[in-house]
Amino acid sequence: MPDTPPKAVVLLSGGLDSTTVLAMAKDAGYDCYALSFDYGQRHNFELEAAATIASRAAVVAHKIIRLDLGTIGGSALTDPTIAVPQADPAGWAATPADGIPVTYVPARNTIFLSLALGWSEVLGAQDIFIGVNAVDYSGYPDCRPEFIAAFERMANLATKAGLEGRSLTIHTPLIAMSKEQIVKKGTELGVDYSCTVSCYAADAAGRACGRCDACRLRAAGFEQAGVSDPTRYLS
Amino acid sequence: MPDTPPKAVVLLSGGLDSTTVLAMAKDAGYDCYALSFDYGQRHNFELEAAATIASRAAVVAHKIIRLDLGTIGGSALTDPTIAVPQADPAGWAATPADGIPVTYVPARNTIFLSLALGWSEVLGAQDIFIGVNAVDYSGYPDCRPEFIAAFERMANLATKAGLEGRSLTIHTPLIAMSKEQIVKKGTELGVDYSCTVSCYAADAAGRACGRCDACRLRAAGFEQAGVSDPTRYLS
């Protein structure tokens, strides 16, 4: 056992998944450094949620990097000309014919992990946590285990630390978990989900629409886990 | 031959190398989309240089993404508390004992390539050009061919385009070239190096210090290529 806890950079969006990951990283004994992005997302309230969550989790530091992905475009989450899909009668997975949701932000996880990599190198951290999960990777290419493995390999060639043999690990503790399991795990670790925001179209006060893919998936998770849903809905 | 030229995203810092790469990408028949970063670098004049260069090269678009790498710290190029090294009597390569210069910005090329990847996906471009070269990769881990290969592999797992079989190529035309060869190549392609800035400590008007590693390397390149050095120096 090292004298001081190892450091980990934890990607924290302020949503249900990343908040659970932060609790898991803490539970595993890491000193946590939370990293959020102000990337032109529509649901900007999530950054306030991230700050609250980071503070309650007593992270060593919480950094918010401003990065205007909206200038790149290509996603309903950052481009106001692309509509956020509402669930259709057939179910929550309202994705286009190619199976990749319009809420996919091009190269988002690659970009976020790259910035986490830069910070981890400055901190001397060898661990990065990211909340990608089984449900996401059904549609988002950058949520799949083979992507994460390729990123980790690249990262170990990219940095001074990697060259010097202090290799980096990308942890994806949620990757094989359902929303139900995630909610159960977080509840067990004492996570207060009332301050997390998952909705793609939350209002300025962080109230969820209850109709988008993210809302339906989240609500189903609480229901299946048998945990009372603390989400604040618009109606 | 396709009816319209293929699109390429070209990372453009406004320095000698990336300006040469842009000329090479144009010469190879690509429609070029130049990408620069306002990342808290000390030598901010290079962004004005990049805009001039992009305009003269008649790129289809030039995007400058603001990204404060200074908040991450760890480099003399973005952290005012770390001194930019001046050449010592032993030669230009004034690097610390571990062989990696203090001007190394943690994960910089990974971050820049990730954002280029995002934009290329939105554009439907399958080619990214970056001006890493032989001299750089002697000290910077993210300028080595094995890093570039690993990034390319990761990128093809990260994106919708990659999933659909439209694979991405990272072009590094300078990787095996000396500064002399780069200057010769650019001169042959009509590059006007007078508007490029390489200096780590240029003044507000873009005048070079003539003493930092980047300046000495650049000056030697012109001398060895037998090309008159158009750099504007402070003294």
Size of interface A-B (CB pairs under 8 A): 151
Asked whether residue B83 carries a pLDDT value surpassing 60, the answer given is no
pTM of the complete model beyond 0.80: yes
CA distance A114 to B65: 15
Tell me which residue of B210, B202, B214, B148 sits closest to B175, measured CA to CA. Answer: B148
Please report the pLDDT score of residue B68 as a whole number: 75
* Chain B residue numbers touching A151 (CB-CB < 8 A): 154, 158
Q: Which of A147-161, A197-211, B104-118 has the highest mean pLDDT?
A: A147-161
Q: Residue B96 has what pLDDT?
A: 40
pLDDT in tens, A64-82: 988 877 777 655 555 555 5
Mean pLDDT is lowest, of A43-52, A108-117, A172-181, B226-235, for A43-52
pLDDT at residue A94 in the model: 34
Task: Give me the residue from A73, A110, A157 closest to B114, CB to CB.
Answer: A110
What sign results for the dihedral spanned by CA atoms B119, B123, B127, B131?
negative
CATH class of A7-225: alpha beta
pLDDT tens digits, residue range A15-28? 999 999 999 999 99
pLDDT tens-place string over residues B126-179 = 999 999 986 655 667 888 899 999 999 999 999 888 888 889 999 999 999 999
CA distance B122 to chain A (A): 5
Supply the pLDDT for residue A8: 98
Say if the ipTM goes beyond 0.90.
no
Determine whether the interchain pair B72/A142 forms a contact, defined as Cβ–Cβ distance below 8 Å: no
Higher confidence at residue B165 or residue B41? B165
| pLDDT given at position B92 | 31
CB contact A73 to B (< 8 Å): yes
Least Cα separation, residue B95 to chain A (angstroms)? 13
Boundaries of every domain in chain B: 7-85+104-197
pLDDT tens digits along B12-29: 999 999 999 999 999 999
Q: What is the pLDDT of residues B178-203, one digit of tens each?
A: 999 999 999 999 999 998 988 877 88
Smallest Cβ–Cβ distance between B163 and the set A113, A141, A157 belongs to A141
Give the chain B residue nearest A111 (alpha carbons).
B114
* The CATH homologous superfamily of the domain defined by B7-85+104-197: HUPs (3.40.50.620)
Q: Label residue B43 by pLDDT band (50, 70, 90).
A: low
